[in-house]
Amino acid sequence: MEHRIDQLIEHCHVASMSGPGYGAIEDAALAVRAGTIAWVGPRAQAPRFCADEVFDAGGGWITPGLVDCHTHLVYAGDRAHEFEMRLNGATYEEIARAGGGIVSTVAATRAASQAELLEASSGRLARMVDEGLTTVEVKSGYGLDVDNELKMLRVARELGHRHAVRTVTTLLGAHALAPEYAGRQDDYVSLVCERMVPEAAAAGLADAVDAFCETIAFSPSQCERVFEAARRAGLPVKLHADQLSNLGGAALAAHHRARSADHLEYTDEAGVAAMAAAGTVAVLLPGAFYFLREKQLPPVDALRRHGVPIALATDSNPGSSPLLSPLLAMNMGCTLFRLTPQEALAGFTVHAARALGLTGQVGTITAGAWADLALWDVERPAELAYAMGAAPLHARWFAGVRDGAAQDARN
Ligand SMILES: [Zn+2]
């Protein structure tokens, strides 16, 4: 019996990221039907397919399309000037007086129209898509008032219509204190809880709610208020936790059944154990660690021992991680945090999908998942985390549609 499919991909190896290691299938075949994976396995075991199109992958490796589960891609302005000032010896005070720091990004983002914000963010996302990205999480957090936070989330949604990429949006109203609330932090948290969270939820603009738990941001009890508001609105939570100090953020996130706790440099063993018990994913962000020249390493060994899934992300943002390369983030995860190349790839696929609540839909090459795929000109999957700036992407599929396939048909 012949199986009708849309596309048969052959002459490839597959790192399915399902099962032990890479879930590798050498000399594989992959069948796509209606945007999803209909069959994957060794070519010798493939059933007889009747395919509209057969694609020769040239002997490369196919992985799930990359999933970046933590970005701040939507913002206006840039901070290169501030970077240059700092390296010319300016102090933080001098930079702040010159209008630098997060307040400069907030001012530029508030001043930008939705169209301008979309244009700026779209260019950044295009770079990541060119590197095999097919799913991206995008946070708000530079508007810091109701209208501008919702504007950022609308832009994040719009990015998914403009690019062949899945976007998952996160409301991060509790990112920093809005300047007009100086000295009234609890009032600002009330604005987040009573207006931003319910309005973002009612408009269908937020898939999750995040907060920044840190001495320079919001206290654990303030973050807890945000989590309660998210629960009332029916939205899952996640947390920027323990990046610069240990405030017990990881344990707090776990207590609220957060999908992920992110950064985690200062998380202790008790925090890791709480995450393991709650099924909270650890999202490590080596780009910020690198850019801020941090010294405290996240507790990778404890995460492994407790079986906490480890995701990796770019944390792409103008202040602390102006990073647009998932592959470089994988390399940094290996060089700085001593992850293995297999862990780094799992961090940008299967575990990142879990951090976004998309297990089984993206992040693995398994029957029934979306056919979001990346084909690489590499001899082995470890090359993806090994090489810096190599750009080995050969082809990318989003929901079964290969980039450029429509143009090929016309030419
Ligand atoms: Zn972040």
Ligand 1 centroid distance, CA of 371 (Å): 28
Q: Say how many Å lie between the CA of residue 356 and the centre of ligand 1.
A: 14
Dist. CA 220–CA 72, nearest whole Å = 22
Q: Which residue has the higher pLDDT, 4 or 404?
A: 4
Contact yes or no for 325/290 (Cβ under 8 A)? no
Give residue 70 CA to ligand 1 midpoint distance, Å: 6
Structure tokens at 324: 């647009």
CB 55 within 8 A of CB 397: no
Contacts of 270 (CB under 8 A, 6+ apart): 251
Other C-beta atoms within 10 Å of 242: how many?
A: 28
Cα of 122 to ligand 1 centre, how many Å? 19
Ligand 1: centre distance to CA 58 (Å):
38
In the prediction, which pLDDT does 96 show?
A: 78
Distance 315 CA to ligand 1 centre (A): 5
**What is the reported pLDDT for 94?**
85
Gap from CA of 199 to ligand 1 centroid (Å): 22
pLDDT tens across 51-110, in order?
Answer: 999 999 999 999 999 999 999 999 999 899 899 999 999 987 888 788 788 999 999 999
Span 214-222, average pLDDT: 94
pLDDT reading at 382 higher than 70: yes
Residue among 33, 1, 27 at smallest CA distance from 369: 33
Cα of 253 vs centre of ligand 1, distance in Å, is 15
Ligand 1 midpoint to CA 348 (Å): 16
pLDDT range class, residue 345, cuts 50, 70, 90: very high
Q: How many whole angstroms from 349 Cα to the centroid of ligand 1?
A: 18
CA of 362 to the centre of ligand 1 (A): 22
- pLDDT computed for residue 405 by the predictor: 77
Q: Residues of the chain with pLDDT > 70: what percent? A: 98
pLDDT score recorded for residue 1 = 67
Looking at the predicted structure, is the pLDDT value of residue 261 above 60? Answer: yes
What is the tens place of the pLDDT at every residue in 122-140?
999 999 999 999 999 999 9
Q: Which residue has the tokens 């090359």?
A: 383
Distance 411 CA to ligand 1 centre (A): 43
Cα–Cα distance between 271 and 252 in angstroms, integer?
A: 8
CA distances from 193 to 19, 129, 157, 361, 379 (A): 41, 34, 22, 31, 50
Question: Closest by alpha carbon to 278, among 257, 263, 252?
Answer: 257
pLDDT in the model for residue 91: 85
pLDDT of residue 394: 97
**pLDDT value at position 408?**
63
pLDDT mean over 331-345: 98
The CA 342 to ligand 1 mean position distance, Å, reads 24
Residue 175 CA to ligand 1 center (angstroms) comes to 9
**71 CA distance to ligand 1 middle (Å):** 6
- State the distance from the centre of ligand 1 to the C-alpha of 97, rounded, in angstroms: 24
Gap between the Cα atoms of 122 and 130, Å rounded: 12
What's the 320 CA to ligand 1 centre distance in angstroms? 9
Q: What is the pLDDT of residue 409?
A: 59
Whether 411 shows a pLDDT value over 80: the answer reads no
Average pLDDT, the chain: 96
Over residues 9-57, the pLDDT tens digits come to 999 999 999 999 999 999 999 999 999 999 999 999 999 999 999 999 9
Residue carrying structure tokens 């320079």? 216
Position of tokens 């599929």?
Answer: 397
Residues facing residue 64 across a β-bridge: 373
Residue 407's pLDDT is what? 63
What distance in angstroms lies between residue 131's CA and the mean position of ligand 1's atoms?
A: 21
Pairing of strands 66-68, 61-64: unpaired
Residue 18 contacts residue 25 (beta carbons within 8 Å) = no
Q: How far is the CA of 127 from the centre of ligand 1 (A)?
A: 19
pLDDT tens by residue, 315-331: 999 999 999 999 999 99
Report the C-alpha gap between 171 and 230 in whole angstroms: 10
Q: How far is CA 154 from CA 33, 157, 203, 328, in A?
A: 31, 5, 10, 28
The environment of the single-atom ion ligand 1, i.e. residues with CB closer than 5 A, is 315
Where b means 16+ CB within 10 Å and e means fewer, 329-339 reads bbbbbbebbeb
